[in-house]
Amino acid sequence: MKLLFALFLGLHGLLHLLGAAKGLGLADVAQLTQPITQPEGVLWLLAAVLILATAVSLFVLPRWWILIGISALILSQLAISFSWADAGYGTIPNIILLAGLVLGFLSSGPRSFRAEYNREVAQDLARSVPTPLLTEADLVHLPAMVQRYIRRSGAVGLPKVQISRPATTDKSAAGRTRPGCPSQAGSTTPTTVPHACSSWTPQNPESPSRPSTVLSARPRR
């Protein structure tokens, strides 16, 4: 969709060059019957450049394409208004450009969900808890071979690796945790959770648990 929109803008911008060519005296365009002055020709040229720049900025400068597109839309419609009898139909592509600008603003503007997500991520990173460093005391309980590997890898003195577990709140299991395990509903704080706690699922008391079937292999006689 973005590529099609960029191709549409490219064609729309190239058509503006006809008005620039006639206004600047570079060519005699028979389709434009109204006279175009030299300042109007410059206006047509600027509008063409900005529309083409809008198409390119969709891929090269995605953060600035809306601002460039607004400038292109204003200059294009202003140039069309001076040659309305010949170029009035150019308003239709400008309406399509305006619709694209509105959709782009809603999807990536300062009030979009993406911008809100980026702000929340920046806030969370700004108030993140300092990560403790890995020391020799943390290696005491490890086997000697593992201690030698960690020391040779240069991990001693570096920040410890933390795991962040995004959790969602389940109303059916809210407030129920396995005995001895911390409750993490709705928490995204980096933590270390035992495997038994992370893999435990509360059972519905209304539905009886199914007995498990144990298969054992007996030696042949």
- The residue among 103 and 169 whose pLDDT is bigger is 103
Q: What is the mean pLDDT of residues 16-28?
A: 92
Burial degree of 155 (CB within 10 A; 0-12, 13-18, 19+):
middle
CA distances from 43 to 23, 54, 90 (A): 9, 16, 15
Read off the pLDDT of each residue in 19-27 and give the average, rounded to a whole number. Answer: 92
Q: Determine the pLDDT at residue 172.
A: 52
pLDDT confidence band for 215 (50 / 70 / 90): very low
| Cβ–Cβ under 8 Å, residues 41 and 66 | no
> Worst-scoring range by mean pLDDT, 74-88, 132-146, 148-162, 181-195?
181-195
Distance between CA atoms of residues 207 and 214, nearest Å: 21
* pLDDT single digits (tens) 186-213: 444 444 444 444 444 455 545 444 444 4
pLDDT tens string 53-98: 999 999 999 889 999 999 999 999 999 999 999 899 999 999 999 9
pLDDT over 90 (residue 130): no
Q: Which residues pair with 79 in a beta bridge?
A: none
pLDDT score recorded for residue 196: 45
pLDDT score recorded for residue 82? 92
pLDDT surpassing 60 at residue 4? yes
pLDDT at 195: 45
Asked whether residue 127 carries a pLDDT value surpassing 80, the answer given is no
C-alpha dihedral (209, 211, 213, 214), degrees to nearest 10: 110
Mean pLDDT of 88-116: 88
Query: Is the pLDDT score of 176 beyond 80?
Result: no
For the chain, domain boundaries: 2-113, 132-165
C-alpha angle 174-177-182 in degrees, rounded to nearest 5 = 110
